[in-house]
Structure 1
Amino acid sequence: MTESAQSKEDKLAWVYLVNLGFYLIPIFVTKMLPWEIALSLAALIPFIYCYFWAYRSSTANAYQPILAMITIGVLITPINTGSLSLFTFAGFFIGFFYPLRTAIFSLIALITLLSLLNAALNFDHYYWVIYGAGLIAGIGLFGVAERKRVEHKCKEKKSQAEIQQLATMLERERIARDLHDIMGHSLSSISLKAELAEKLIANNQTEQARQQLTELNSIARDSLSQIRQTVSGYKHKGLAACVTQLCQTLRDKGLSVNLFGEIPKLDPELETQLILSLTELCSNIVRHSKGTHCELHFEQTSTELRIVISDDGCPNQIEQGNGLTGINERLAKFKGALTWSLDPDCQFTISLPTQG
């Protein structure tokens, strides 16, 4: 329970004590001696202590303050019949802390105690017992209802906490996946440029090596910029600019690249996920493909958008790792999917329903 919620509950606990007003009625309507009035008022001190003791107790030890309140009620009854008010507080806590079956038997026992007190003190009528039994039963059941309310509230808070925790975990996984996709592509390009520069230097081709190092520096800067943009909200230059950059990266790998179709304008959130998905697929080609030619096809109909990436590397099989799984998870949010085949070329197809 939060600090503000606890403060609210404590204030309500004091408000409930207004019911002790019924305990004070006999002092004003009957002829009580001064010492009886003083003793009646003094009994409120330990009772209120027991009340807050019960209010903050657990089910395991709640019986202690409840029995203490009943004891105070029994002892003060010969002096002040307003003690019925004290018994009703005990009835409330019985209903609040214990299962319905236990609570009912306990409330019956408490009503029986009132009957025994009525007989022992020779009250000349049974109104005290009847009125007291009705109050104890009604307020006891109110305690049961209050327990159900608190249990429901606790379940809601627990459910909300679990949902929030799950959302946090999913968000962390999404961020980790996005960073993996971006950095996997970028580091592959950096490795490629560095390897090429090393070979050029070895062959005394310093001018070409300098050009590769310049491009390497540019890639590193772009990677840093992409990470910052991803963390700050996945800002990007657009799908068209990204596809152009990916095509250049594939050409740097040594593949010839052909781009077919018109790159569509999409919702920014979907476009972001497509950029990250295409980056991952192209990164896989850079890392694993032994082909010499790559094609990107954009095909859009009235019902479907298809993006096909193919290369002639033709691996023996495709293993679905974190990267491909991550792509499918991204696309699933938009009712899309990633499929692949190895005949005749290695081909990956992203399928998405056309946005309305």
Structure 2
Amino acid sequence: MHNINIATDTKQRSTEDKLAWIYLVNLVFYLIPLFINDKSAWEIVLALLTLIPFIYCYFWAYRSPSDKAIYPILAMIMLGIAITPINTGSLSLFTFAGFFIGFYYPLRSAFISLLGFVALLATLTFLLGINHYYFIVYGGLLIGGVGLFGVAERKRVEAKCREQQSKAEISQLATMLERERIARDLHDIMGHNLSSISLKAELAEKLLDKNHYEQAKEQLKELNAIARESLSQVRETVSGYKHKGLASSVMSLCQTLRDKGVSVSLEGNIPQLGPELETHVILSLTELCNNILRHSQADHCSLIFGESADEISISITDNGQITHIIEGNGLKGIRERLKAFQGKLDYVVDQQCRFTITFPAQES
């Protein structure tokens, strides 16, 4: 199963984070038993304090990849077990853990885990002498229902990821077709013009050998005119290609990495940049991706685009075997390119290697 989390892309992350806070309204069912039962002040305070680490674990689980989600889920379950002797509203805490189990794990594993949850509720009922069986019956039904909702939400997110991947593949195909068109245009322009240049240069050489200086001079003028026209046409064609932009180049780089056996995940919205900055960002990303292929021995890479009101960032993270970095001409060249736009390049080498390009957000 691929690593997934609930906030799947940067564009939706703000909305999803707001919803995450709204979902916490279900904690009202955790608070109700504190006020309808006869609880001492210290029990109420302890139950309220338990919410602090629980909410931390909730957002930890919310933002975890599937292979790491077990830790916050277990932490939420342990908090629920610990507070149950004081507050049977802990069922509310268990339902959040049940949701994440359904969301992060395959149906079979989720079903077995939710059955284990019911067994846990039964054990707590008998060990603590809880005298109302709603803790088992109602709690089991509630956790099972919320867990199934988590399964449904996982299916929705996976379908959305497949849809986004399909769109990316279509965009990539369009990029390949556009590149073929550019190559064909360049060939048509340069093929004819270079042939003309070659012929006129050869003719001018022969005229000079025969001391026909005026005729040779005329041929050289025509040769110069053809060369200037060719340069202008090439600039127009390449300029049009560059300005198509960053998105096409990123898709091409991702495909190059995949072709070399490196899986790639792409997060965030690719920003709209001015033509000159866009060109330098494309060159910088190309250099960083080439470094991954040449030096890192990585098998996974993440490209993350972030944008705030003041700053745009692009991070490339790989799981390669690099323990330290010696800056060569490539990284120095990136710094020089970005410096002209008040940008910078930073990197961190830990368990993973992460390069981050940042530069000020451009005015619309």
User: TM-score normalized by structure 1?
Assistant: 0.60
Pick one of 154, 174, 181 that aligns with 2:181.
174
Does 2:17 correspond to 1:20? no
Pick one of 154, 164, 168 that aligns with 1:161.
168
Counterpart position of 1:37: 44
Q: CA deviation at 1:232?
A: 5.8
Counterpart position of 2:123: 116
Pick one of 56, 66, 81 that aligns with 2:63.
56
Pick one of 99, 102, 116 that aligns with 2:106.
99
What per-residue deviation string (whole Å, max 9, x for no partner) do you get for residues 45-91 of structure 1? 22112212222223223222222211221222222121110110110
Name the amino acid aligned to 1:176.
A
What per-residue deviation string (whole Å, max 9, x for no partner) do you get for residues 302-345 of structure 1? xxxxxxxxxxxxxxxxxxxxxxxxxxxxxxxxxxxxxxxxxxxx
Q: CA deviation at 1:228?
A: 4.1
2:218 and 2:207 map into 1 onto residues whose CA distance is 10
Counterpart position of 2:222: 215
1:130 and 1:218 map into 2 onto residues whose CA distance is 89
Q: CA deviation at 1:229?
A: 4.4
Name the amino acid aligned to 1:30.
N
Structure 1 residues 58 and 211, CA, compared in 2 at 3 Å: closer, same or farther?
Answer: closer
1:120 and 1:167 map into 2 onto residues whose CA distance is 64
2:131 and 2:228 map into 1 onto residues whose CA distance is 97
Name the amino acid aligned to 2:136.
V
1:127 and 1:141 map into 2 onto residues whose CA distance is 20
Question: Kindly, what percent of the aligned residue pairs are identical?
Answer: 69
Pick one of 78, 86, 98 that aligns with 1:71.
78
Name the amino acid aligned to 1:196.
L
Q: Secondary structure at the match of 1:43?
A: helix
Structure 1: segments with no counterpart, 5+ residues: 235-356
CA-atom RMSD, angstroms? 2.3
Q: CA deviation at 1:108?
A: 0.8
Q: Secondary structure at the match of 2:206?
A: helix
Structure 2: segments with no counterpart, 5+ residues: 1-7, 242-364
Counterpart position of 2:192: 185
1:15 and 1:131 map into 2 onto residues whose CA distance is 23
Q: CA deviation at 1:117?
A: 1.9
Matches within 5 A, 1:114-263: 114-231=121-238
Q: CA deviation at 1:163?
A: 3.2
Structure 1 residues 14 and 192, CA, compared in 2 at 3 Å: closer, same or farther?
Answer: same
Larger-gyration structure (1/2): 1
Q: Secondary structure at the match of 1:42?
A: helix
What per-residue deviation string (whole Å, max 9, x for no partner) do you get for residues 10-42 of structure 1? 322222111111101112222222122112112
1:127 and 1:233 map into 2 onto residues whose CA distance is 69
User: TM-score normalized by structure 2?
Assistant: 0.59
